[in-house]
Structure 1
Amino acid sequence: MGRGSKGKQKGAVAVTVALSMIFLLGFGAMAIDIGNLLVARNQLQNAADAAALAGAGCLKPRAECSNTTAAQPDFTTAAATASTFSTSSSTNTVQGSVVQASTVATGYWNATGTPYGIEALPFTPGANDLPAVQVTINKDGSNANGAVPVFLGAVLGANILKASAVATAVLSSPGNVGPGGLFPLAMSQCLFNTYWDSVADAPKTSPTSGTVSGFNYPQVAGQPYIFQIGSSYQYGTCQSGQWTTFDVNNNSASYARTLLTSGNSTTFSVGGSPGTWIQTGEENTLFNNTATCSAAGNGQCAWVTVPVVADPGTSGFQPVVAFACLHILNASNGSLPYVLVQMTNDMSHCETPNSGGVGPSYGAYTPPRLVQ
């Protein structure tokens, strides 16, 4: 073979190697930049999720949101909270930079997924429509967040990469409560209705301070009524409650006493069968123990979620109608034993652990949760 042929072969190899290098660099660029794009996408989603959850936590009255007297749901405060959280230098960064811009929408999300997506305001919600906060964060070059940086993608002609994330969080009243979420006192639905304003979705409040007709305890103007829950053996149905041992058929005070601190061991659902076990008798010792853990005592049971039943005067298993939030002020085991309480809907205290689903609005809430 002549020298000219060898020279041509060497030239062809050089061209092939050069083309291969470009090809390999292109694949390397794709691997590096796509990997970086996926990291950015994940960080954007984390930021959007956190902001949506923060906003949803302010849809209902909450001391930390400074909206304890706001109408419900409080979309204005929820949107402002989500927006502030999403661009806070202490909460959200994407690829080392603080998020500069986000879009926040509020409305309702249907729990059944029909339709799917957020229903914009104004909107008249149905039973399965939950107040929602939606946060969108883009890193696509369209706003102050910029675009996802390109490292080697320019080899293939890519100058910018785009990523975005959407998160929607909702809030609901619990349809079910898991282990440890309930206090073992079942109150009557009639009693609840007496002290709850279903139109305002809030506790009824006292118009004046001091002595108020129909009450045995001084009231505070503008605050939820302070009232007694007593055994059905001493009080009428609309003033009664009864100790419950949840899923266990047990009428002993000693067993019920253990539940004051441990709560339910199984999950309870609204309308579930067989329901919660209503004890017989007054169980006076339980009133003493409740006084110890009440707001007047060590505060361990100052704020609780309780099951609501139709008639706690009837012993045996009864279906749970709803879950209510109570502020337990004190208790007494005198000749007419009672637990002294207020109805409440402050999410600072009424966010029920291990709860979910959708149930009637009786003051208790599930923790905010993501649906998108």
Structure 2
Amino acid sequence: MHGKSKARQRGAVAVVTAISLVMLLGFAALAIDIGNLLVARNELQNAADAAALAGAPCLFQRTQCGNATATAPDWSSATQKASGFATASSSNKVQGAAIKFTQIASGYWNVTGAPGKLQAVPFTPGANDLPAIQVTMTKSTANANGGIPVYLAGILGVSSLSAAAIATAVVSRPGYVGPRGLFPVAISKCLYDNYWNTSTNSPKQATSTAPLSGQTVNQTPNTPYVFQISSAYQANGCEAGQWTTLTSQQNDVPFVRGLIAGQNADSLGIGSQPGTYIQPGEKNTLFTAVDNCSANGDHSCEYETVPVVNSVGTGYQPVVAFACVRILKADNGSKPYILVQMSNQPDKCQAANSGGVGPNYGAITPPRLVQ
């Protein structure tokens, strides 16, 4: 009897050991296969983010998108760009394999978070509804990407796992502009009201060769008006522009020259306090610095984003918009001026380190993720 009891005990231990091994393997499967699933999920998200950011710039006319004459938003070009990037074997890989299947959607995304989903076109956008590209990537046996392989979960009857990621990217008109994004000239809003067509969100076109009233430069018909920006000492309030040192009150030529060269570290937002600081004086030698970097010079400041204010009076003035201008040249004479055109070319008018939402004055933000 005693020997039979020991045999039964050994049999019970064997059963418990077998059950324990299954449980241990199950826990190992959770640790290894769930960990692998999380890695694959992160790779899918990175791939979806990259594809959405690649497609979003093409919502607007850009030379590099091949849609320079398209009417924004260009849903087709943006969708094709996102799709091509998503499935390019050299750019997007998950677990070492290229993505073969992805879903691309386009429409409007409300940046306030309501309704929190993509609104498909046709749709009438509001002020906070921005054109967007949405990329959904799924790794599953239900599509060509295949499932996520398992290592130990097979003992639990699991042959593969699935994961998905969604990314939505938008492009907007800037509500704020960060470091190295602004040129140190503030322009009066009424000047833009004169030369900007708000119904088409584009520059007004010259209708004759005659110079503008009180100015000396001839126009070219059917191209954006060219106009001379002079200081408030030389021009009336609506034609005036003035040097601005953004949030700094440092009033010296070397400092402003550094801002012309893109060395500013400030951020400005529409309506933010205290605003942008308008400098006193003409600082004539700065016009030479502008000419050197303009379209007449080395082109390094040919297209710039400038703050728009209601008044160019000295002191802090609130910013009401950000605009893109094309700087043709500058003249340092008895009546110094900067010669500019308004511009709305997205491939030229992207404001560095900008975001938010503001009025459409030609400037544009880099694409950014909202989901």
Q: Same fold (TM over 0.5)?
A: yes
SS at match of 1:305: strand
Q: Is the 8 A contact 1:181 1:305 kept in 2?
A: yes
> Are residues 275 and 143 of structure 1, via their aligned partners in 2, closer, same or farther at CA, if it must alter by over 3 Å?
same
Q: 2:346 maps to what in 1? A: 347
Please tell me whether residue 330 in structure 1 is matched to residue 329 in structure 2: yes
How far 1:263 sits from its partner (Å)? Answer: 4.7
Amino acid at match of 1:342: Q
- 1:222 shift after superposition: 5.6
| Gap runs ≥5 in structure 2 | none
C-alpha deviation, 1:124, in angstroms = 0.9
Are the structure 2 counterparts of residues 5 and 250 from structure 1 closer, same or farther at C-alpha, using a change threshold of 3 Å? closer
1:118 to 1:234, Cα distance in 2 relative to 1, 3 A: same
* CA root-mean-square deviation: 2.1
Q: Distance in 1 between matches of 2:206 and 2:89?
A: 43
Map Cα deviations across residues 293-332 of structure 1 (whole Å, 9 max, x no partner). 22322333222111011132x2222111111112222211
Is 1:370 the counterpart of 2:369 in the alignment?
yes
Partner of 2:60: 60
Q: Could you state the TM-score of these two structures normalised by the residue count of structure 2?
A: 0.92
Partner of 2:111: 111
Closer/same/farther in 2, CA of residues 252 and 10 from structure 1, 3 Å limit: closer
Residues 229, 239 of structure 1: 8 Å contact kept: yes
Q: Give how far 1:178 is off.
A: 1.8
User: Is the CA contact 2:305–2:323 (under 8 Å) kept in the aligned structure 1?
Assistant: yes
- The equivalent residue for 1:320 is 319
1:193 partner SS:
helix
Contact 1:307 1:323 (8 Å CA) reproduced: yes
- In 2, Cα distance between equivalents of 1:9 and 1:321: 85
Task: State whether residues 184 and 243 of structure 1, in contact with CA within 8 Å, keep that contact through their aligned partners in structure 2.
Answer: yes
Match in the other structure for 1:159: 159
Aligned AA (2:49): D
The match for 2:149 is 149
Shift of 1:63: 1.8
**Residues 173 and 365 in structure 2, CA contact (< 8 A), matched pair in contact too:** yes
State the Cα deviation string for residues 215-257 of structure 1 (Å, max 9, x = none): 7546566653333222232233333211112223354434322
The total of aligned residue pairs comes to: 369
TM-score of the pair, normalised by structure 1: 0.92
Q: What residue is the counterpart of 1:2 in the other structure? A: 2
Contact 2:211 2:219 in 1 (8 A): no
Instruction: Give the corresponding residue for 1:134.
Output: 134
Report the residue type matching 1:336 in the other structure. Answer: K
Instruction: Find the counterpart in structure 2 of residue 243 from structure 1.
Output: 243
Match of 2:39 in 1: 39
Q: Which amino acid aligns with 1:163?
A: A
Seen in structure 2, the aligned counterparts of structure 1 residues 218 and 141 have a Cα distance that, compared at 3 Å, is: farther
| CA displacement, residues 270-312 of structure 1 (integer Å, 9 cap, x when unaligned) | 1222211222232211111111122322333222111011132
Q: Percent identity over the alignment?
A: 54
8 Å CA contact 1:174, 1:365 repeated in 2: yes
Q: Distance in 2 between matches of 1:146 and 1:128?
A: 38
